[in-house]
Amino acid sequence: MNILIVDDHPLTCQGLAALLSATQLGAQVQSAYSAAQARLALQKLPKPDWIFLDINLPDDPEHALFRGLCESTWIDHTVLISADPQHRLIRRALAEGVRGFIPKTADPELVLDGFSRILAGEFYVPSALAMQLRDTAHSDSRPLSPRLQQVQELLLRGTANKIMARQLGLSDHTVKEYVSSVLTFHGAANRLELVLKLSKEINP
């Protein structure tokens, strides 16, 4: 497994790299301390399987690196890390399909638990933050990405994951990831809760 950590704080990069190298079998970890270095790393072989990204980089105030990841398949393999869990930023990333958010202040156990869940196909944010996102679910009107909108429409029709995978030309594993992202974006625990939440928004 090849992992790229993008963060302008060397201590954060070194600490996270040491943790992942010690706990993920066969992990090869490299660090980029700027958006420019990250772009160069993404062009080299071997390509990273996972990207841990601090979206607030000094040389990228307009978040061009993040937007570029959103326009590619990289976003499906990106985990946000930040010392400041801004709700709008996280919800924007959710809408684009990022795989999770892990605070820089998290204990090593939480980091590893979060990453293991992501590897298992879940979308991950710490439980306390997930509750806050649910409470603020109506404060940001940013739409889901086109792919996640397709998944949401099929969810609302009651389409099973396997049928959804065939219709969208995706693997069962990828569909599971997208379903998890849609549910988390709306603060819903399951399909039924999603239907009830969205029906209330349409017919308050």
DSSP label of 154: H
Phi, psi of 44 (to 5 degrees): -95, 160
**pLDDT, position 140:** 52
Specify the pTM. 0.71
CATH of domain 2-123: 3.40.50.2300
How many CB atoms within 10 Å of residue 52? 25
| Domain segments of the chain as ranges | 2-123, 146-202
Spatial separation of the C-alpha atoms in residues 168 and 151, rounded to whole Å: 9
Domain 146-202 in this protein, CATH class: mainly alpha
Helices (H), the chain: 10-23, 35-43, 64-70, 87-96, 108-119, 127-135, 146-156, 161-168, 172-185, 191-202
**pLDDT, position 90:** 73
List average pLDDT for each run of 10 residues in the chain, which is 204 residues long. Answer: 95 94 94 96 92 93 90 88 73 77 89 90 76 58 78 86 90 85 79 73 49
Topology alike, domains 2-123 and 146-202: no
